[in-house]
Amino acid sequence: MDVAIIGIGIHPFGRTEGVSGLDQGVYAAKQALKDAGLEWKDMQFAYGGSWAAGEADSIVKSMGLTGIQFINVANGCATGGSALFSGYTSIMSGAWDMGMVVGFDKHPRGAFAIDPKILGLGSWYGEIGLMLGPKYFSLKIQRYMHDYGITNDTLVKVSEKAFRNGVLNPNAWRRKALSYEDIANSAMIAHPLRQYMFCSPSEGAAAMVLCNSKVARNYTNKPIFLKAATVRTRHFGSFEIFTPSLPLERAPSPTVQASQDAYELAGVGPEDIDIAQVQDTEVGAEIMHLAENGLCKDGEQEALIQAGETEIGGKLPVNTDGGCLASGEPVGASGLRQVYEICLQLRGDAGKRQVPKKLKTGYTHVYGIPGVSSVTILAK
Amino acid sequence: MSETVKKQIPIQEGLFTWPSDDPRLIASKCKNCGEIIFPAQSNCPNCCLEDVESILLSKRGKLWTWTVMGFYPKSPPYAGPDTPETFVPFGVGYIELPNEVRVESRLKENDPEKLKIGMEMELVIEKFREDEEGNDVMIYVFKPVEE
């Protein structure tokens, strides 16, 4: 038995004045139902998440009060992946046959403001200016560039690709290509990362209808099968966000474990992945996550990216919809935006940004505070 | 007329020894597996046991990684003495204390040209801001060792 995705929906990412995050979630949920030819009352379960735009299960007010099992999911930026994992296990366990996962968010302008106490850290940590997302990513990529020879030129090229892909994505926020100079000369946010190398908090929503694969073809002739879904948290010694000390012996990140376990569940290896979405909070994260997800060895990213292999026309297209850089980061939604894109590509429905090569197997990866990773493997 | 004596108060009790002529960061070390955690905590996140002892960390080490923060941190939770108008970029890094642990810290250097992985750094305690009573609120920072 497998889990199939038979309906997908999305609300444009970016900024939509006058539409609440909840309403964006409702929009995506309704679109996913329409895509599957189903109604809300056909859903036996739902999982959903939002960091800042309300309780996800409040969408029942607009969708319909049916008594459905609806559970809210919260795992930072890994929320979407965790919600999908929850839906996956609901069906795999035999508890239910048909349900929905939804994620949405609507963030104010500016960087995320996080209270250290919610993570069990002393308030002093935030008072002295350490409670900043960009700080972690810059510290991590700075060390990685030192260890593996990734160049600033490669950072710029990853950013260029993101905005170039965003032009081809009608649901992206940033739809204007930026030149190499625009990016390389943009303001330094946290050395070595500049303004156009970072995503920004934004708005958006995405939703999926899942079902027991036995009935999938009753609803669609293009089911996408969820071959694996995993959620893993950090081991002692991995370099995570908001970590006041690290032991001398470094442990692999939660992404590595989530990834390895997903390959094993799906019965495939990295060589079988035709297209991937990896968390690109900033360009360094996209680069490092390629290796953490087993898609290349540490350091190989330099040659891969310089040769254009992660472009839409390359050997391993990565973040073909423009990723977090072009869509922004609505925390509850991003993980499901990634799955939406892979489904679209596997169905052959990605329009101007359709990957030209033959596609069978796709991969998604999200990473969130305080060190949680979720991976899915999807196949035709 | 009485005068209030201005005090120097650590931003958080238990982070470092203060007042002291030889201030040190306070960490916990697991008696079972030997792993060191800063700030100190009562259990070991490595082996999950609750058998730790308090230790004082070395004050010199090598810069393991660094960055310079170029924007005024969101406030709250930031509670510095500066404003968006008076903000000056500040360095942050992890300092590898030999045979102990890598600690995250603000740095007393904010010029990217002067920060290099591997450079020697040493601990200092300095004033971060004043509190409502006019006392100095003290924090730990690492500064480059002048050879």
pLDDT digit string (tens) for chain A, length 380 residues: 799 999 999 999 999 999 999 999 999 999 999 999 999 999 999 999 999 999 999 999 999 999 999 999 999 999 999 999 999 999 999 999 999 999 999 999 888 889 999 999 999 999 999 999 999 999 999 999 999 999 999 999 999 999 999 999 999 999 999 999 999 999 999 999 999 999 999 999 999 999 999 999 999 999 999 999 999 999 999 999 999 999 999 999 999 999 999 999 999 999 999 999 999 999 999 999 999 999 999 999 999 999 999 999 999 999 999 999 999 999 999 999 999 999 999 999 999 999 999 999 999 999 999 999 999 999 99
Instruction: Tell whether the torsion through CA atoms of A11, A14, A17 and A22 is positive or negative.
Output: positive
The model's pTM: 0.96
What pLDDT digit, counting tens, does each position of B34-50 carry? 999 999 999 999 999 99
> In one letter, which amino acid is A339?
V
The third-level CATH classification (topology) of the domain covering A3-109+199-375 is Peroxisomal Thiolase; Chain A, domain 1 (3.40.47)
Instruction: Supply the DSSP symbol for A117.
Output: G
User: pLDDT at position B147, please?
Assistant: 74
Provide the mean pLDDT of chain B.
95
Average pLDDT value for residue range B73-80: 94
CB A52 within 8 Å of CB A21:
yes
User: pLDDT at position B2, please?
Assistant: 52
Per-residue pLDDT at B3 exceeds 70: no
Three-state secondary structure call for residue A221: coil
A-B CB pairs within 8 A amount to 122
Strand partners, A201: A329
- Burial (CB count within 10 angstroms: exposed 0-12, middle 13-18, buried 19+), residue A71: middle
Q: How far is CA A120 from the centre of its chain?
A: 25
Using an 8 Å CB-CB cutoff, list chain A residues near B99.
248
CA distance A126 to A122: 8
Q: Which residues of A make CB contacts under 8 Å with B?
A: 110-116, 122-124, 126-132, 134-135, 138-140, 142-143, 146, 187-192, 236-237, 243-248
Nearest to A190 among B39, B67, B94 (CB): B67
Per-residue pLDDT at B102 exceeds 90: yes
What are the sequence ranges of the domains in chain B?
8-24+59-144
CB spacing of A114 vs B99 below 8 angstroms: no
User: pLDDT at position A110, please?
Assistant: 82
Nearest to A138 among B12, B45, B67 (CB): B67
Least Cα separation, residue A103 to chain B (angstroms): 25
User: pLDDT at position A1, please?
Assistant: 77
What are the sequence ranges of the domains in chain A?
3-109+199-375
**Lookup: tokens for A105:** 């968010």
Per-residue pLDDT at B57 exceeds 70: yes
What is the band of B28 on the pLDDT scale with cuts at 50, 70, 90? Answer: very high
